[in-house]
Amino acid sequence: MAIRQIRENGDEILRKKSKEVEKVDEKIVELLNDMLETMHKYNGVGLAAPQVGILKRVIVIDLYDGNEPLKLVNPVILKTKGKQEVEEGCLSFPNQYAKVVRPEEIVAEALNEKGEKIKIKAKGLLAQAICHEIDHLNGILFVDLMLPGTLEYVESKED
């Protein structure tokens, strides 16, 4: 596994649409593992492949809640329910946070790291994270969705 460089605001790759993964092979599994390691290094909740410079429909999510992290290939949202106003940040926008409106609940479908089709029912933070990361795959950034006047800059905390 390896730590990959996170692309930050202004990098044109963040605005491009990612391509479907045709086959979950060793390269995709390696990408998933590298993304998870990178996300953990920077204390993120989610990471999409475009954020590490790869235009593939691949995301990882970890809520640090004792459950296994999600490694999703070609994720698609099938259904949404309700709305929640939430504060979001993004590893591609260090120390910036804004309020956005996301679905309260979703049903999504994806392939797992074994290439098996899985269905995910999510609500709250998990629904928010899946929506945020799928947006990245479509070149949509949280700042595109932010409620007016809610962008905040937070001083960086040195480790």
CB 84 within 8 A of CB 67: no
Residue 87 has pLDDT above 80, yes or no: yes
Yes or no: say if 111 and 86 are a contact pair by the CB < 8 Å rule: no
From 104, 116, 133, 155, the catalytic residue: 133
Q: How confident is the model at residue 1 (pLDDT cuts 50, 70, 90)?
A: confident
pLDDT digits (tens, 9 = 90+) for 29-76: 999 999 999 999 999 999 999 999 999 999 999 999 999 999 999 999
CA distance 48 to 51: 6
What class is the 12-153 domain?
Answer: alpha beta
pLDDT at 159: 43
| Residues pairing with 102 in the sheet | 84
The CA distance from 120 to 158, in Å, is: 36
Q: Is the pLDDT of residue 12 over 80?
A: yes
Which residue's structure tokens are 């990245």?
A: 136
Active site residue 133: yes
- Average pLDDT, rounded, for the chain: 96
Q: pLDDT by residue (tens digit) across 131-150? A: 999 999 999 999 999 999 99
% of the chain surpassing 90 pLDDT: 95
- Reported pTM: 0.95
Sheet strand arrangement including 70-81:
46-48, 58-61, 70-81, 105-111, 117-123
The pLDDT value recorded for residue 156 is 67
pLDDT at 7 over 50: yes
pLDDT at 157: 54
